[in-house]
Every structure is written in structure tokens, then in C-alpha cells.
Amino acid sequence: MTLKFNRNQLRAYFVCGTQDVPGANLETVVQSALDAGITAYQYRDKGTSQLTPNERLALGRQLHQRCAAANVPFIVDDDVELALALNADGIHVGQKDDRVTTVLQRVAGQMFVGLSCSTLAEVAIANQIRGIAYIGSGPIFPTTSKADADPVVGLAGLKQLVARSQRPIVAIGGITESQLRPVAATGVAGSAVISMIARSTDMPRTVGAMLTATAFQS
């Protein structure tokens, strides 16, 4: 049974694949993040990942089980076939990937759908599309996690996107612990991070800071 979407799932959103934790075990990293209290996990295995499609599927099954045990939504990045094969709770789609309308038709209510939007024009279009659960906006700050990242949005730009969007927004891109409160002050539902959690020396503290930043919204 898949988890239904709610805004609070965006408060401490962890995005990670094998390419983000070189030399480490992704299952172990994700379990530590779940134990620390993350509210959503996105399986984004691509780029320099060395996994074969079968390995990616097998690992996804293990990660989904861990998320389900923690009652945390398991979200797949970009790949509709993989998301369906894993019976994911959600799928996240970028502007450059399959058109979100096509994805919505393919998943047909089986899972919730998130969409990346970095401009007011993209948000305005998303507002007109029924079925989108949330918006991912960024990069808020410069990031090294994505080679093809869009231009930096910044805090002022993020606040404008939040004001325009009819769906909750999760901020992503270059966010550090010291920036969590300024990001939250824009009205976003939460922050999505890769390295801030993956490279944390104290995950409970890091995830706790993410939850505290948005506590006033709960």
C-alpha cells in the first residue's frame, strides 16, 4: 500500500544515490537517515552511478522496504518504469524529463507526482496541471551535485515562487544547515538535500535542524 502525500513529508527530504556516497553502502546511509528522522527519501541513482539496471532495481526494493518500515515515502527520480516496478509512493519529474502530463497518465493515481520548477513561468504552468502533489524549486544556492543545474534561484526568487505556487514547494540546491532557517522563512514546506545529510558527521543533528527550521509551519 503506497503512502499518500502530505505537505509535512517535505520538511526533511533526503535525495541520494550510490554516486553520492562513494565508498559507502547506500542502504546503510539511508537507514541512518531514516533513524535520524527524515520525512521523505528520493532514490536518485544516475550520473556516475556504476549500477546496472537490475542492480538498481534490486537496491531500490531494499530501500523501499526500509522506507516503508519507517513510514517514510519512497520517491523515485525521473524513471517511470523503475517507479512502477518498485511500486513507489511517489515520482519526481524534471522539466527536461518526460512531460509531467505523460507521467501523470502513466502512474494514474498509483503514486504522487512532484515536479521541478525554477521559474515563475514554470510554476504558472504547473498550477494549471491537475494531479501534481508538490513542486521542487532550485537550485537555491550554487550546487555541485548536479552537472546540469539550472541558474541559481536565490532566496528572493524562491519567495516569489512560493507566492505564485498553488502547491507546496520543497527547496533544493546547495542548502547548508546555516541556511535552513532563511530558506524556511520564504514559506517553503521544507528543504531537499543530498550532501548535507549524506556527508553529515551527525545525522540526528542535521535532520533535527531541518525539522526545527519548519516547525512553525506544522
Cell numbers found for residue 200: 553529515
How far does Cα 137 stand from its chain's mean position? 10
Helix extents (H) in the chain:
26-36, 53-69, 80-85, 100-107, 120-127, 154-164, 180-184, 195-198, 203-213
35 is known to lie in a ligand binding site = no
Asked whether residue 71 is domain-assigned, the answer is yes
194 is known to lie in a ligand binding site = yes
Asked whether residue 56 is domain-assigned, the answer is yes
Q: Which of 44, 56, 66, 164 is catalytic?
A: 44
Asked whether residue 47 is domain-assigned, the answer is yes
Helix, strand or coil, per DSSP, at residue 168: coil
143 is known to lie in a ligand binding site = yes
pLDDT digits (tens, 9 = 90+) for 139-156: 999 876 656 667 899 999
11 is catalytic: no
Q: Which of 66, 116, 165, 167 is catalytic?
A: 116
Which residues touch 18 (CB under 8 Å, ≥6 apart)? 26, 45, 49, 50, 51, 59
Asked whether residue 89 is domain-assigned, the answer is yes
165 is catalytic: no
Asked whether residue 203 is domain-assigned, the answer is yes
Q: How many domains is the chain built from?
A: 1
Asked whether residue 191 is domain-assigned, the answer is yes
144 is known to lie in a ligand binding site = yes
Asked whether residue 1 is domain-assigned, the answer is no
137 is catalytic: no
pLDDT digits (tens, 9 = 90+) for 164-211: 999 999 999 999 999 999 999 999 999 999 999 999 999 999 999 999
Threshold 0.85, pTM exceeds: yes
174 is known to lie in a ligand binding site = yes
CATH code where residue 99 lies: 3.20.20.70
In which domain, by residue range, is 204 found? Answer: 7-217
Q: What are phi and psi of 156, to 5 degrees?
A: -65, -45
Q: Which of 32, 49, 106, 146 is catalytic?
A: 146
Asked whether residue 2 is domain-assigned, the answer is no
Task: Please name the residue that has the C-alpha cell 518498485.
Answer: 86
